[in-house]
């Protein structure tokens, strides 16, 4: 092993707003004191209950990825396991997500964009 994953960083226009969105989705603590970094208007964090840390970096000219097109590729996305797709969809939409692909039929996943435009999936587990 060469390294430990410290965090996943997402560029966005409003770091604290996006941290609060993901706190509503995943739980956890926004901007918990951590010796590895300091938080300010350009950097916010979310320490999730499972131990993963998501960080949100302010980028003034942020341009969200396009999905499914490749004009501005997504580069990566997050998948979240849920027991009830319909209930989870209702909750993420109420918190500012946008449905990108609801799928057809009995597909077990759906694609959304967070408030900054990053694609993420809800996947039935």
Task: Evaluate whether residue 15 is within a structural domain.
Answer: yes
Cis, bond preceding 124 (omega within 30 deg of 0) = no
Task: Evaluate whether residue 65 is within a structural domain.
Answer: no
**CATH code at 116?**
3.10.180.10
Task: Evaluate whether residue 3 is within a structural domain.
Answer: no
In the Cβ-directed half-sphere of 123, how many Cα atoms lie within 13 Å? 8
pLDDT by residue for the chain (125 residues), tens only, comes to: 776 788 999 999 999 999 999 999 999 999 999 888 889 999 999 999 999 999 999 999 999 998 888 888 877 788 899 999 999 999 999 999 999 998 776 678 899 999 999 999 999 88
Token couple for 50: 């499972």
**Which residues constitute the domain of residue 102?**
78-124
d(CA 22, CA 115): 10
């Amino acid at each position: 092993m060469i390294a430990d994953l410290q965090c996943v960083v997402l560029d966005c226009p409003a770091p604290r707003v996006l941290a609060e969105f993901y706190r509503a989705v995943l739980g956890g603590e926004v901007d918990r004191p951590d010796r590895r970094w300091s938080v300010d208007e350009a950097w916010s964090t979310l320490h999730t209950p499972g131990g993963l840390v998501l960080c949100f970096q302010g980028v003034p000219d942020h341009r969200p990825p396009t999905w499914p097109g490749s004009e501005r590729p997504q580069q990566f996305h997050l998948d979240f396991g849920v027991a009830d797709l319909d209930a989870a969809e209702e909750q993420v939409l109420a918190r500012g997500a946008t449905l990108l692909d609801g799928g057809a039929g009995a597909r077990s996943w759906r694609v959304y964009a967070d408030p900054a435009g990053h694609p993420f999936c809800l996947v039935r587990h």
